[in-house]
Amino acid sequence: MFAVLEWCKVYERHFTTYIFFASTGIDIAHLLTFLVIGFVAALAAKGREMIATITLGFIFASMAIVAIVYVVSSTGDSAILRRFPWYASDSFAIVIAGAIVKTHRLGASAGPSKA
C-alpha cells in the first residue's frame, strides 16, 4: 500500500488522504485479507464451511488474546488494547466469509425454482 501511495505521490497533493490510507486503510486491507482467508478455508471445506471457518476464527481470536495479554503483562504498555477491536473483526470476517460460501452453495444446490 505504501508503494502505491508513494508512486502516486498522494502525500504531496492530498496529505489527509495519505494519512487515511496509512492508518485506517491498512486496517481495512488487513480485514479484507482475513475475508479472503475465510473464503479459501470455506471453499476447501466442502459441506463443513461453518465448522472450518468458526474454528479458524476461534484459533485466531485465541492467539490474539494470548498475544495481547503477554504484551500487556510483560511491558506494562496497554496501548495494544486499542488494536483488539480490529483483531476481533478479523476473526469475524473469517466466519462471515464461511457464511457467504455456505449460503452460495445452498442456493446453487437448490437449483432453479419451478414456480
CA distance 97 to 44: 12
DSSP class of residue 76 equals -
- Per-residue pLDDT tens over the stretch 33-92: 999 999 999 999 988 999 999 999 999 999 999 999 999 999 988 888 888 888 899 999
Which amino acid does the sequence have at 31?
L
How many Cα atoms sit within 13 Å of 90 on the Cβ side? Answer: 22
Letter string b/e over residues 2-36, b meaning 16 or more CB atoms within 10 A of that residue's CB? eeeeeeeebeeeeeeebeebeeeeeeeeeeeebbe
Q: How far is CA 19 from the centre of its chain?
A: 21
C-alpha cell at 85: 477491536
CA distance 93 to 70: 24
CA distance 51 to 35: 16
pLDDT band at residue 15, thresholds of 50, 70 and 90?
confident
Whether this prediction's pTM lies above 0.85 is answered by no
